[in-house]
């Protein structure tokens, strides 16, 4: 290769993809900003991620082109950013582009002053448009440096204003009616036929589904439960789900979950393990169980490192073509499946609903297995044997194809979501393999990403950890480690969760607002720090932290945590009724405070056996703790009695007389 730039030293697969561009790319650093200041040279920041299709398109059209590279190198200090490694940089420049009135997306391309303050930006640009814009902005800066600098300073102030809010503007009291108003207004957006929100594109949005399942369960809201069931069912049958190998793509470009944007992200699949496991507990739908097992198998087979770490994603493209790895034409299917082809084609809707572009099919299903078996005079068992055989044949054939690119970095936050997903799968199905995978990954994070004082790193690649942890890393790992304690009864996980919480409060908490910063308070950067309050494809870091504080308050009896939660909610209650979809994980916390919520402490030599019996049903309004010996944890302290297996049902530390029968305990919980 003719060109090699400084990205060759990066650990990010996305940055390495650009290491041989003729553009003089640099990684984001304080040093590179200082260099731009000294040279009084504009900065060009280009942000994307390894699995991003349009990022690849723009690289091929523009960044690999020598003429384009010359314009970039002559006029700019060029910086490439992996948005998954640096969510702080991505947030800052995404906020800038949106304040400019542009639509956000990736690749995100921003031109900034030498000090990093943005002055112009957008997403994907065709080659000629890109070159013209680069030359125009560079020219404007040379001719009007003072005015351009003034504009950049004003825009930076605007970003700080939207990113940081010192005081809650309206302390609206929390009550059940607030939640009900929010959900009632939200219902107008639901697609009750296909699931998800009305229209397209459709994103899985597991945070929203988790809240609505809890809400439907606790409020006996059948429409909410029906919406969640329909969404889970339609996604599982659609092209967004890999019918051959398991695992979900990031979203579908249409309104029927058919045509995915083919990249597979760890954060989606980790969370979808959780919601499908809980969906199975609530609805007893065997399709949901199948999805959990297939998705977990996909994660272990294709995204798991031997160390126990999970990689980040699989690309949408292979051989430069989006989706090529995943689609099938009828000729190759006929050849593979043989005598069963007609039945196979009917099952996966080949040449009917599954037909896509250029004679290719994105396999999907239109019926449940029960309906399809009855329609074709097969027993359910006979059909399942056939489907397993077909999937095996197709998976074998697909392995011969050129695979999509793998983003093999490990992110603490996304791994924590996957630990939680595996634990929820274990809770639903009591399959030890799910628990062993969760323990292996949780142990990997503990040994590789966590320092003795509770400090975390965000990124790991090939034995090297890098980048100081962000609030999402701390919050999601605390959540996962509390759940590890709930499931295993091993108080070492709770001790780790408590230690990380102490570090987070010390280094991220803002006393004035009562919220946690996204980056550590001492972080010195041109970037504005911010309070992440709104949920998106993963829950807002502050909402996760608030839920963690609630659980730790109940387990350890730390009353200060309850005060902190109340202060955090002051920022949310004024907005929930109007925008519940942006605050769903906060809604989960509010349900815990406005509806019956219990701590169930199980103590005795057989506590684990009792716990397994208690946990089979969907019970989102219970915090679990168990011990098979004496414990100093406040929720369990002085509850163990030699020779007895006892179940304590408590509310905020006040417990009823212990029970000995799981059936009796479940009956009492249902009556509450």
pLDDT at 522: 78
Please report which confidence band the pLDDT of residue 670 belongs to, taking 50, 70 and 90 as the band edges.
confident
pLDDT tens for 390-441 read 999 999 999 999 999 999 999 999 999 999 999 999 999 999 999 999 999 9
Among residues 118, 112, 113, which one has the least CA distance to residue 100? 118
Please give the Cα distance from 568 to 572 (Å, whole number). Answer: 7
Query: Which of helix, strand or coil describes residue 539?
Result: coil
Query: Which of helix, strand or coil describes residue 44?
Result: strand
Residue 201: asked if its preceding bond is cis (omega within 30°), the reply is yes
Q: Which of 46-60, 519-533, 654-668 has the lowest mean pLDDT?
A: 519-533
Look at residue 103 and tell me whether its pLDDT is greater than 90.
no
Among residues 226, 217, 216, 255, which one has the least CA distance to residue 239? 255
Please give the Cα distance from 444 to 53 (Å, whole number). Answer: 31
pLDDT at 172: 78
Among residues 480, 590, 571, which one has the least CA distance to residue 533? 571
Look at residue 166 and tell me whether its pLDDT is greater than 60.
no
Look at residue 644 and tell me whether its pLDDT is greater than 70.
yes
Among residues 500, 495, 527, 533, which one has the least CA distance to residue 514? 533
Question: pTM score, two decimals?
Answer: 0.95
Token pair in block for residue 668:
């009492």
Please give the Cα distance from 217 to 622 (Å, whole number). Answer: 13
- Length of the chain in terms of residues written: 672
State the CB neighbour count (10 A cutoff) for residue 563.
13
pLDDT at 524: 67
pLDDT tens for 23-36 read 999 999 999 999 99
46 near 94, Cβ under 8 Å? no
pLDDT at 5: 96
What value does the mean pLDDT take over residues 340-355? 96
Please report which confidence band the pLDDT of residue 190 belongs to, taking 50, 70 and 90 as the band edges.
very high
pLDDT at 320: 86
Please report which confidence band the pLDDT of residue 672 belongs to, taking 50, 70 and 90 as the band edges.
low
Q: Which of 68-77, 127-136, 164-173, 343-352 has the lowest mean pLDDT?
A: 164-173
Look at residue 1 and tell me whether its pLDDT is greater than 90.
no
Query: Which of helix, strand or coil describes residue 435?
Result: helix
What mean pLDDT, rounded, does the chain reach?
A: 94
pLDDT tens for 511-528 read 999 999 999 997 667 788
pLDDT at 633: 94
Q: Give bridge partners of residue 157 from the DSSP assignment.
A: none
Q: What percent of the chain is predicted at pLDDT more than 70?
A: 98
What value does the mean pLDDT take over residues 106-110? 96
Q: Give bridge partners of residue 556 from the DSSP assignment.
A: none
Q: Tell me which H or E stretch contains 238.
A: none
pLDDT tens for 222-260 read 999 999 999 999 999 999 999 999 999 999 999 999 999
C-alpha neighbours within 13 Å on the C-beta side of residue 463: 0
Please give the Cα distance from 578 to 178 (Å, whole number). Answer: 10
Token pair in block for residue 457:
């790193």
Q: What is the DSSP string of 446-463?
A: HHHTB-TTS-BEEEEETT
Please give the Cα distance from 160 to 154 (Å, whole number). Answer: 10
Look at residue 168 and tell me whether its pLDDT is greater than 70.
no
Token pair in block for residue 38:
């000294």
pLDDT tens for 442-500 read 999 999 999 999 999 999 999 999 999 999 999 999 999 999 999 999 999 999 999 99
Please give the Cα distance from 248 to 266 (Å, whole number). Answer: 9
Please give the Cα distance from 135 to 113 (Å, whole number). Answer: 15
Look at residue 165 and tell me whether its pLDDT is greater than 80.
no
Query: Which of helix, strand or coil describes residue 220?
Result: coil
Token pair in block for residue 599:
């701590």
pLDDT at 163: 76
What value does the mean pLDDT take over residues 97-121? 94
Query: Which of helix, strand or coil describes residue 4?
Result: coil
Please give the Cα distance from 296 to 245 (Å, whole number). Answer: 10
What value does the mean pLDDT take over residues 31-52? 95
C-alpha neighbours within 13 Å on the C-beta side of residue 476: 28
pLDDT at 488: 95
């Amino acid at each position: 290769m003719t060109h090699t730039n400084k990205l060759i030293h990066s650990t990010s697969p996305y940055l390495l993809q650009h290491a041989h561009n003729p553009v003089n790319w640099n990684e984001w650093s304080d040093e590179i900003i200082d260099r731009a200041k000294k040279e009084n040279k504009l900065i060009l920041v280009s942000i994307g991620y390894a699995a991003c299709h349009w990022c690849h398109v723009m690289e091929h059209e523009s960044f690999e082109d020598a003429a384009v590279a010359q314009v970039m190198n002559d006029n700019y200090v060029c910086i490439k950013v992996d948005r998954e490694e640096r969510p702080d940089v991505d947030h800052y420049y995404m906020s800038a582009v949106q304040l400019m009135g542009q639509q956000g997306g990736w690749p995100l391309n921003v031109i900034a002053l030498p000090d990093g303050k943005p002055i112009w930006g957008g997403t994907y640009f065709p080659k000629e448009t890109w070159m013209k814009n680069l030359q125009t902005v560079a020219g404007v800066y040379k001719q009007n440096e003072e005015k351009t600098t003034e504009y950049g300073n004003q825009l930076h102030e605007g970003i700080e204003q939207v990113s940081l809010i010192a005081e809650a503007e309206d302390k609206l009291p929390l009550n059940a009616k607030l939640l009900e108003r929010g959900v009632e207004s939200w219902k107008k957006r639901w697609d009750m036929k296909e699931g998800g929100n009305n229209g397209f594109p459709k994103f899985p949005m597991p945070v929203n589904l988790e809240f609505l399942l809890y809400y439907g369960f606790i409020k006996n809201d059948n429409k909410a439960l029906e919406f969640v069931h329909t969404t889970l069912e339609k996604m599982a049958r659609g092209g967004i789900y890999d019918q051959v190998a398991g695992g979900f793509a990031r979203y579908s470009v249409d309104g029927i979950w058919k045509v995915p944007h083919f990249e597979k992200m760890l954060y989606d699949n980790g969370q979808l393990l959780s919601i499908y496991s809980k969906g199975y507990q609530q609805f007893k739908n065997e399709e949901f169980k199948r999805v959990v097992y297939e998705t977990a198998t996909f994660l272990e087979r294709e995204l798991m490192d031997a160390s126990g770490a999970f990689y980040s994603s699989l690309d949408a493209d292979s051989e430069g073509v989006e989706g090529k790895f995943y689609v099938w034409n009828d000729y190759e299917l006929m050849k593979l499946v043989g005598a069963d082809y007609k039945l196979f084609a009917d099952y996966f809707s080949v040449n009917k609903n599954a037909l896509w572009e250029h004679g290719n099919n994105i396999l999907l299903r239109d019926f449940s297995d029960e309906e399809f078996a009855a329609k074709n005079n097969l027993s359910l068992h006979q059909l399942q044997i056939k489907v397993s055989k077909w999937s095996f044949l197709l998976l074998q054939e697909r392995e011969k194809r050129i695979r999509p690119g793998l983003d093999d970095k490990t992110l603490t936050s996304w791994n924590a979501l996957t630990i939680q997903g595996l634990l929820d799968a274990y809770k639903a199905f009591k399959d030890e393999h799910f628990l062993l995978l969760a323990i292996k990954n949780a142990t990997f994070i503990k040994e590789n990403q966590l320092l003795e004082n509770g400090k975390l790193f965000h990124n790991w690649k090939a034995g090297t950890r890098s980048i100081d942890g962000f609030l999402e890393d701390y919050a999601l790992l605390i959540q996962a480690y509390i759940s590890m304690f709930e499931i295993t009864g091993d108080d070492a996980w709770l001790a780790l969760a408590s230690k990380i919480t102490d570090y987070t409060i010390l280094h991220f908490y803002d006393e004035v607002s009562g919220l946690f910063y996204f980056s550590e308070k001492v972080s010195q950067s041109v970037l504005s720090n911010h309070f992440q309050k709104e949920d998106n494809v993963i829950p807002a870091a502050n909402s996760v932290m608030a839920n963690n504080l609630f659980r730790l308050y109940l387990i350890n009896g730390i009353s200060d945590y309850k005060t902190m939660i109340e202060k955090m909610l002051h920022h949310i209650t004024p907005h929930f009724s109007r925008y519940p979809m942006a605050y769903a994980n906060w809604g989960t916390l509010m349900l815990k405070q406005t509806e019956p919520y219990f701590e169930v402490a199980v103590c005795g030599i057989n506590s684990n056996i009792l716990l397994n019996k208690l946990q089979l049903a969907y019970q989102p309004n219970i915090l679990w703790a168990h011990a098979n010996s004496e414990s100093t944890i406040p929720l369990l302290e002085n509850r163990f009695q030699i020779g007895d297996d006892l179940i304590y049902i408590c509310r905020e530390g006040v417990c009823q007389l212990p029970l000995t029968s799981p059936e009796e305990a479940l009956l009492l919980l249902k009556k509450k």
